[in-house]
Amino acid sequence: MSESTREKEKKKTVGVKEPSMEILINTLSSHKDKAREGARHTLVAMGKPAVPSLIKALKNKNTLMRWEAAKALGEIGDPETASVLVKALEDDNFDVRWLAAEGLIKMNIQGLKPLFEALEHRGDSVLLREGAHHVFHDLAKGGLRKFLVPVLAALEALEPGEEVPWVARHEMEVEVPWAARRALEVLEKLKNP
């Protein structure tokens, strides 16, 4: 690059500020795809400093903002956001739920503890069970298979739409929290041998 070209480029950027976190987050709800995508990429590039704002955006009423926030958090992959992504598995928008599950899959074993805890306490939530199934199904393809199979089996016993007598369904709903608790105990032993 010639010196005159560098000078011209420098003059173009003089006085141009990086967009503020607030502007970037607000842009996540833009109806302009390129603007949303650009803001998300910038936030992902920021990494951990963007996480608190993205967590707040994930709770926004605007579906586009929640979608972009879930995607960004998944791409950042910070295990500290696992519990937030677990909550997003119960979002009213399927795409947000899907991205939350994908983010947990990316975290691998580091995202499992909050998911097991949620299943243990809210195992009756159909949306949570569906999201957990997505996560476990993908992670069970790897080295976590033996560890996840019992929980996956309990989730698969409760396929939505199947007509099951109330008593049997209740017993199966109890099985999911129990299997999640057992998997959590095994996980804790793995981390603390």
pLDDT of res. 19: 76
* Residue 38: pLDDT over 90: yes
Q: Which residue has the higher pLDDT, 54 or 160?
A: 54
pLDDT of res. 3: 52
What global pTM score does this model have? 0.78
57's CB contacts (< 8 A; 6+ apart) are: 25, 28, 65, 66, 68, 69
* Residue 163: pLDDT over 70: no
**CA nearest 181: which of 156, 141, 150, 145?**
150
Torsion of CA 30, 38, 109, 127, to 10 degrees: 20
Mean pLDDT value across residues 146-168: 65
* Residue 162: pLDDT over 90: no
Query: How distant is the alpha carbon of residue 187 from its chain centre?
Result: 20
Give per-residue pLDDT as tens, 74-98. 999 999 999 999 999 999 999 999 9
Q: What is the chain's mean pLDDT, rounded? A: 82
Q: Which residue has the higher pLDDT, 159 or 180?
A: 180
Scanning 21-144, the segments in alpha helix (DSSP H) are 21-27, 33-46, 51-57, 63-76, 82-88, 94-107, 112-122, 126-139
Band (173; pLDDT cuts 50, 70, 90): low
pLDDT of res. 51: 97
Rounded CA-CA distance 63/176 in Å is 30
* Residue 160: pLDDT over 70: no
**CA nearest 145: which of 157, 136, 156, 154?**
136
Band (66; pLDDT cuts 50, 70, 90): very high
Mean pLDDT value across residues 101-117: 94
Cβ count near 90 (within 10 Å): 17
- Domains identified in the chain and CATH numbers: 1-76 (1.25.10), 81-193 (no CATH)
